[in-house]
Chain A
Amino acid sequence: MADALSGASGRLRLSVGAGGAILLALPWILVALDEPFFIGVCVRFLAYGLAAAALDLILGYGGLVSFGQAAFFGIGAYTAGVMIHHATDGSVLLAWPIAIGGSTHALLVLPLAALVAAALAAGIGVISLRTGGVYFIMITLAFAQMVYFIVLSFPQYGGTDGLMLMARNAAPGLDLADETTLYYVSLVALAAFLWFGRRLARSRFGMVLRGARENERRMRALGFAIVRYRLAAFVISGAVTGLAGALLANQSGFVSPDLLSWQRSGEIMVMVVLGGMGTLFGPVLGAVALLLLEEVLQGWTEHWMLILGPLLLGVVLFTRGGLWGALSGERAGDG
């Protein structure tokens, strides 16, 4: 990870180091506190953190306000869910032209979830990226709603009721049914993406992506076909969001169309803004903070949104660079 932080300030290194150490030690701490139940809650933090960081790749670096991330999140979760469902009840996914059954194999299902989400992102991106600004927000939202209703229309996968999963993914020596194993698999996925994303930001590809956010006209005049770069980033973001969805499905043992709803897209976007756009680490912090706040406030009152709203406003108005900016001193555009 230090490799992705070359030239970073001491405060930034300290923040990343402390965050990494806490996340590494968390399962032990929770077991020591006799609260192993919370390991599952922390898996949710990691899954949402991964989805938020994936959105930040295109929102923070690319300036692309995708309001359809729930489509990729949900389709990843459903890919895992459907494969596990068919594997556990012995039915086939596809009878013709070749019979394909389900699977619980982690090394098959998790990459497949990313792949399906990537394919969906490629399709949505090819059309959406022809537009810009508010139109891009609206068209990604519209596509996500289409996916939502398509998934609803499959009664064999539970329709509005969703789908209970009778098993989790597993691979030889890696049984995700063990909550701690699932936690570390999620943590490795998150760390790998954060490393990759931070490196990407300073690569040739990242320079084009960020340059197009800064000044689209200039980039065209230089000779960059910027839609190609944006599409590639959009597909990477979709794939990683799909993987995050599959991890979440494993944790909750349940998938429902709620994962595909526009509220979910909004929530992921709030995590990015709350944590600090264009930093990748920030959105992970934002995800943890938002989910924790929701938990705590829901315990106090059913009108918890009345408290959450002003809190979010306060962070956006008074901390430049979100929570991560306040903690590490890093803001989008640095470096």
Chain B
Amino acid sequence: MAETEPLIDVRGLSRSFGALRANDGIDLTVLPGEIHAVIGPNGAGKTTMIGLLAGEVAPDAGAIRFRGQDITGLTVQERALRGLARSFQITSLCRGFTALENVMLAVQARSDHSFRFLRRVHRDRALVDPARDALDAMGLLARADTCASYLSHGEQRQLELAIALAMQPALLLLDEPAAGMSPDETRRLVAIINGLRRRTGVLLVEHDMDTVFALADRITVLVYGKVIATGTPDAIRADPAVRDAYLGHATVAA
């Protein structure tokens, strides 16, 4: 794995809000097919980092290379079209649309043929079929025709992920995908992310340590906007600086 070129290569990424250095010289790589988790206490700058990678926040310094190209200056939608998909920490859906329609939009975005004015999307198998597959993968197929605003919180989180999957990204940014999910839903989520391994790069920001240690190939620990450690789950668990700064003296789940 060490020989392969990273999928995304982040160098010296920095962003301040006033006096607060939310991200301070972050270096990070995600290799193709790798599941890379980012952990850190509240306020460590995880969400800012996702924003910087997705293109919603502009960096003060640093560079992001994605699949060998510099994408630091690209907009959110340009990055998305190059294969960088994200899920939102706080569910962000088209609430008036059905679950199926939400996913169909993701399929449509990828197909790049949206200046079509007359043909009805619901009869467009090129949109409907992949969208139903993505819902099926998340166990949401039975709710396909339910309006997104009527889905339970857990279902909305699953839909959020179905949308990201339907984009067939090269790199998936997952911002706390398990937030608010039931244990059952979380188990399903872990299985699905596990299934992406070696097909899609995943950058996972997550609070739930069970999920992180169950999934991650490598873990990066962020504290006060700085990377204090990167390594395998075992190395991170053994790292004294990490134990000090973040894990405290609590027992880390195996």
Residues of chain A touching chain B, judged by Cβ–Cβ distance below 8 Å, are: 6, 196, 199-200, 202-208, 210-211, 214-215, 217-226, 229, 232, 333
Contacts and interface: CB of A to CB of B under 8 A. Distances in A.
B96 A224 contact: no
B31 to A, nearest CB: 23
Nearest to B96: A333
Nearest to B169: A223
Contacts of B119: 203-204
Contacts of B88: 218, 221
Interface string B95-117: 11100010011101110011111
Contacts of A229: 114-115
A236 B104 CA distance: 25
18 contacts: A202-B120, A204-B115, A204-B116, A204-B119, A204-B127, A205-B114, A207-B121, A215-B94, A217-B56, A218-B92, A220-B80, A221-B77, A221-B80, A221-B86, A221-B88, A223-B80, A223-B81, A229-B114
Contacts of B86: 221
Contacts of A222: 77, 80, 105-106, 109, 163, 167
Contacts of B92: 215, 217-218, 221
Contact of B121 (A202, A214, A223): A202
A330 B109 CA distance: 29
Contact of A199 (B77, B118, B122): B118
A237 to B, nearest CB: 13
Nearest to A332: B96
B93 A218 contact: yes
B96 to A, nearest CB: 5
B57 to A, nearest CB: 13
B113 A204 contact: yes
A224 B114 contact: yes
Interface centre among B78, B80, B93, B114 (most CB of A within 10 A): B114
B105 A205 contact: no
Contacts of B95: 214-215
3 shortest interchain CB distances as A-B pairs: A223-B80, A214-B94, A222-B109
A222 B115 CA distance: 16
A252 B118 CA distance: 34
Given A221-B54, A225-B77, A211 B105 contact: yes
Interface string B64-92: 00000000000111101100011010001
Interface of B: 54, 56, 75-78, 80-81, 85-86, 88, 92-97, 101, 104-106, 108-110, 113-122, 124, 127, 163, 167
A160 B106 CA distance: 52
Contact of A219 (B54, B56, B104, B105): B105
Contact of B110 (A210, A221, A223): A223
A225 to B, nearest CB: 5
A214 B114 contact: no
A211 B94 contact: yes
Nearest to A195: B118
Nearest to B166: A222
A205 B94 contact: no
Contacts of A207: 101, 104-105, 108, 114, 121
Contacts of B93: 215, 218
Given A211-B97, A211-B105, A221-B54, A232 B115 contact: yes
Given A208-B108, A222-B163, A223-B109, A200 B118 contact: yes
A204 B121 contact: yes
A203 B96 contact: no
Contacts of A210: 94, 96-97
Nearest to A205: B117
B114 A220 contact: no
A77 to B, nearest CB: 27
Contacts of A196: 117-118
B117 A200 contact: yes
Contacts of A214: 94-97
Nearest to A228: B115
Interface centre among A206, A217, A220, A221 (most CB of B within 10 A): A221
Interface centre among A208, A211, A223 (most CB of B within 10 A): A223
A203 B94 contact: no
Contact of A221 (B76, B101, B113, B124): B76
A218 B164 CA distance: 11
